[in-house]
């Protein structure tokens, strides 16, 4: 009598989804399909991965659509891995797996449930760990299957944190899959009394306030770094994205007005903060074009100056309108 073939599928969108799929494919569990998020008809890189691994692929925009449910049911899996997907899955999706659904979160659950974990980790607000857990009714609340902690240092940005997430996710998968091959499904319930929650972050949260300390500005730039959109400021009528921080200058040799470029050192610019000096690099505009700064450039806007300039323009426009109205009235009187 032959042994039972255990079947699994992956639902996801990003690099962590690919890590999960690759590790399942090389395990004793049969990877039968990958469902990849393809917003606005954009082709997912998971499509090419499925071709490489010679498994079925299904693209979707909304994970809870009936078409996704039908496809997962057709794959007839024992375990469903939902990894690297920002959308919450419905109970109908969960019911397509006969034995269990596995989720992934890069914090030491129950600490750090919620949104934008990589940014919050880079900000030093939550302990980091690649956690595989049973997907439950509430986000990130199910029993823990595997948890691999990792350290985050002050010089790491979002890309560095993401790399650590992928490295430790691979370890967690290697620990979990042999258990699932034996149908050992033993999630350890989380202690809800220890749970903390992370709020949603938007691109607008990357606006730099140079009046904060150099350490705070440094942390923000690192947290908003690629793969996120980047921290930003407004200067001379355009938005500038600052993609890299060179760190806080320990013994600055220059000082100046808050928010102004002090000098260029190699590939970095030194900028005065409210408390200390920071080095920044890889500056671009909204089109991704590199921007070069000069000493003394103000990175930001002075609200009172902007309001004064706006008021002056309004007065000029009012004068033009008044003159046009007077001319029009005079013309009417002549007629």
- The predicted structure's pLDDT at residue 1: 39
**pLDDT tens, residue order, the chain (335 aa):** 346 799 999 999 999 999 999 999 999 999 999 999 998 766 678 999 999 999 999 999 999 999 999 999 999 999 999 999 999 999 999 999 999 999 999 999 999 999 899 999 998 889 999 999 999 888 899 999 999 999 999 889 999 999 999 999 999 999 999 999 999 999 999 999 999 999 888 888 999 999 999 999 999 999 999 989 999 999 988 999 999 999 999 988 888 999 999 999 999 999 999 999 999 999 999 999 999 999 999 998 877 777 777 888 889 898 898 888 888 787 777 77
| Predicted pLDDT at 329 | 81
Report how far apart, in Å, the C-alpha atoms of 149 and of each of 109, 129, 169 are: 10, 4, 10
pLDDT at 298: 93
CATH number for the segment(s) 7-198: 3.40.50.170
Model confidence pLDDT, tens digit, residues 299-323: 988 777 777 778 888 898 988 988 8
In DSSP terms, 105 is beta-bridged to 131
Whole-number pLDDT of residue 42: 66
- pLDDT in the model for residue 325: 84
What are the E-state strand segments in the chain?
A: 7-12, 30-37, 56-60, 79-83, 100-107, 113-114, 128-134, 144-149, 197-198, 231-235, 238-248, 261-265, 268-273, 276-284
Q: Which CATH number fits domain 203-301: 3.40.50.150, 3.10.129.10, 3.10.25.10, 1.10.760.10?
A: 3.10.25.10
- Tell me what pLDDT residue 324 has: 87
| Range list of β-strands (E), 211-253 | 231-235, 238-248
DSSP state of 143: P
User: Across the strands, what pairs with 147?
Assistant: 131
Cα–Cα–Cα angle for 167, 75, 73, rounded to 5 degrees: 115
Q: Are strands 231-235 and 238-248 parallel, antiparallel or unpaired?
A: antiparallel
Bridge partners of 130, per DSSP, are 148
State the average pLDDT for the chain: 92
- Please report the beta strands in 111-225, taking only residues with DSSP state E, as ranges in sequence order: 113-114, 128-134, 144-149, 197-198
Count of helix runs (H) and strand runs (E) in the chain: 8, 14
As given in the structure block, the two tokens for residue 273 are 């903060």
- Tokens at 149, concatenated: 């902690």
Per-domain boundaries in the chain: 7-198, 203-301
Q: What is the pTM of this model?
A: 0.82
Classify strands 261-265 and 268-273 as parallel, antiparallel or unpaired: antiparallel
């Amino acid at each position: 009598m032959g042994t039972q073939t255990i079947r699994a599928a992956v639902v996801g969108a990003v690099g962590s989804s690919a890590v999960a799929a690759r590790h399942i494919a090389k395990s004793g569990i049969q990877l039968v399909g990958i469902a990849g998020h393809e917003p606005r008809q954009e082709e997912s890189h998971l499509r090419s991965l499925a071709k490489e691994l010679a498994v079925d692929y299904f693209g979707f925009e909304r994970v809870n659509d009936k078409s996704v449910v039908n496809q997962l049911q057709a794959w007839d899996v024992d375990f469903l891995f939902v990894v690297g997907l920002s959308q919450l899955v419905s109970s109908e999706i969960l019911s397509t797996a006969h034995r269990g659904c596995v989720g992934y979160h890069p914090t030491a659950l129950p600490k750090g449930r919620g949104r934008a974990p990589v940014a919050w980790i880079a900000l030093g607000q939550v302990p980091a760990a690649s956690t595989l857990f049973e997907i439950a009714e509430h986000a990130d609340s199910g029993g823990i299957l595997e948890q691999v902690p990792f350290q985050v240092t002050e010089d790491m940005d979002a890309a560095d944190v993401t790399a650590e997430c992928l490295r430790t996710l691979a370890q967690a998968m290697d620990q979990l899959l042999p258990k699932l091959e034996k149908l050992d499904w033993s999630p350890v319930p989380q202690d809800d009394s220890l749970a903390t929650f992370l709020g949603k972050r938007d691109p607008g949260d990357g606006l730099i306030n140079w009046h904060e300390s150099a350490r705070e500005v440094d942390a923000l730039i690192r947290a908003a770094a690629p793969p996120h959109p980047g921290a930003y400021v407004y200067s001379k009528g355009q938005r500038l994205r600052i993609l890299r921080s060179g760190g806080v200058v320990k013994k600055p040799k220059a000082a100046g007005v808050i928010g102004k470029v002090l000098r260029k050192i190699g590939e970095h610019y030194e900028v005065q903060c409210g408390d200390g000096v920071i080095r920044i690099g890889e500056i671009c505009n909204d089109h991704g074009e590199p921007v070069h700064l000069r000493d003394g450039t103000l990175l930001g806007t002075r609200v009172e100056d902007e309001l004064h300039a706006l008021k002056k323009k309004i007065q000029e426009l009012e004068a033009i309108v008044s003159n046009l109205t007077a001319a029009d009235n005079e013309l009417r009187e002549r007629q």
